[in-house]
Amino acid sequence: MARFVFITGGVVSSLGKGLASAALGALLQARGYTVRLRKLDPYLNVDPGTMSPFEHGEVFVTDDGAETDLDLGHYERFTGVAARKTDSVSSGRIYSTVLEKERRGDYLGKTIQVIPHVTNEIKDFIRIGEDEVDFMLCEIGGTVGDIEGLPFFEAIRQFSQDKPRGQCIFMHLTLLPFIKASGELKTKPTQHSVKELRSIGIAPDILVCRSEGPIPRKEREKLALFCNVRPESVIAAQDLASIYEAPLAYHREGLDQAVLDAFHISPAPKPDLTVWEDVADRIHNPEGTVKVGIVGKYTQLEDAYKSIVEALTHGGMANRVKVQAEWIDAEVFEREDPANHLDGLHAILVPGGFGERGTEGMIRAAQFARERQVPYMGICLGMQLAVIEAARHLADLDDAGSEEFDHEAGKKRFTPVVYHLKEWVQGNHRVERQQGDDLGGTMRLGAYNAALTKDSRAARVYGGLAIEERHRHRYEVDLRYRDALEKQGVVFSGMSPDGRLPEIVEVKDHPWFIGVQFHPELKSKPFAPHPLFADFVRAAKENSRLV
């Protein structure tokens, strides 16, 4: 039966609870334990699927088709454990489930209340799969004191009491601000945060304190005394040059040992950190730098493309180079010559997105990459726009467009090279969607298989002819225009197993030009870079010698 670690946060948000959770998971794995990580979010959205990237950042997608918080991406990247639908839940989903049960009469006419009905639903969620792993790490979103988080805090308090003594511990992440004027590291915000946590019945076993520098012994002892934890359980979380230093940094601070001590596990297995030492070496000792332009719609917020940035970093590690991302707003190209911004870049990447804004700029970026022989990767929308660009400029379809944004723009006449997908096969059943359906959960989501063309670049990159990748989209490239495009060297090198849906296109006689309908960035890890990103950065590295 699993031991449970509940990770909470205080003082301010965005301190790195997700990173701390992921690093702890990696350290427990290094000691030979199995782990699973979960995120419990207090917001009322059912999931982040319909939230703006500016509002929430990236939406991470699991193999089984869940749209989740971007922290699950950290969990996967650090542990290699594929996330599932049961690893992410929000207040919205909890309340939806409770209300569905009430409408069905499951509660036998009782008055429905936060306690016990909502808290019981949260506890039932936490219990899922508890017999599968040694440790279950559960991160609670938000900060202690937030009114919307109270049901979750109450649920984990109850849960710890339901379990045998010693099976649950609490780890609290706080901020130690440094006041430059007085030259002091202040512990009072952490003290108040712990006081707030204790007032709702939760006493932290471990304090993880985010700070700009080391925590002096005097401050550690003060925190231990006033927050009622052992001095060795006060862990410093200092600012790092790379998130991939976190497992080694937390190990040096003794986080994994503190967790094992809290569970009274002795003697503790020794960790094997060879993988993370190699990762750190590749991060800190690159043999060059390549510049990759990311031409997108949400470039003002890097978290909107979090997995892409990390996958590029992994590709750089595979090639012993540092990848320098150049963020470019696609709308700029609708007013200016792309060459003003793209000249000198070693590769160009156009990521996914929704809606019309910026799409003409992305099309011009794809045209620049194709004509100038610059390595290009198009992901989801980036693939569709590359196909539209080729249809316009190579296949004489001057009015080529997409049902997605050309309908939005009110165009009466256009050739729908990209169309709204209304039905597809998932597993052994057919899925049907209409254009007017609710947006949430109506996309082609999760892992799907694809068959690659023999001797294609994609097949060489993957080293095989059968792949499985994660999707998140509503629109598809129309195969009616395949022959016209392939005559011009735009090859459909990856297809769904039934041959109906394009998965990969590539341009012949080009150093590296691949568009994919799926999201390969979601499966990349620092110790196992995705082959597409590894080869894309390799091509950028070769191009850097020519530019």
Residue 24 CA to residue 251 CA, distance in Å, equals: 9
d(CA 275, CA 30): 9
- Alpha carbons 398 and 390: distance in angstroms, whole number: 10
| Catalytic one of 251, 380, 469, 503 | 380
End-to-end Cα, the chain, rounded Å: 57
Q: With contact defined as beta carbons under 8 Å apart, do 220 and 186 qualify?
A: no
Catalytic residue of the set 58, 67, 521, 530: 521
Nearest to 443 by CA among 36, 61, 25: 61
Question: What's the CA angle centered on 246, arms 241 and 247, to 5 degrees?
Answer: 145
Please state, in angstroms and as integers, the Cα–Cα distance from residue 474 to each residue in 203, 414, 420, 423, 484, following that order.
46, 19, 6, 10, 24
User: Scanning the structure block, which residue is given the tokens 């996967």?
Assistant: 76
What distance in Å separates the CA atoms of residue 255 and residue 488, rounded to the nearest whole number? 58
* Helix, strand, coil % over all residues of the chain, rounded to 5: 40, 25, 35
| Residues 501 and 474 sit within 8 Å (Cβ to Cβ) | no
User: Active-site residue among 56, 473, 510, 519?
Assistant: 519
Q: Is 429 a catalytic residue?
A: no
Can 209 be counted among the known catalytic residues?
Answer: no
Helix H or strand E encompassing 74: helix 71-79
Helix axes 119-127, 150-162, angle to 10 degrees: 60
In angstroms, rounded to a whole number, what is the distance separating the alpha carbons of residues 373 and 458? 18
Q: What would the two tokens of residue 358 be?
A: 């910026």
Task: Please indicate whether residue 503 is annotated as part of the active site.
Answer: no
Distance between CA atoms of residues 116 and 139, nearest Å: 21
- Name the residue among 341, 315, 313 with its Cα closest to residue 328: 341
Q: Which positions are annotated as active-site residues?
A: 380, 519, 521
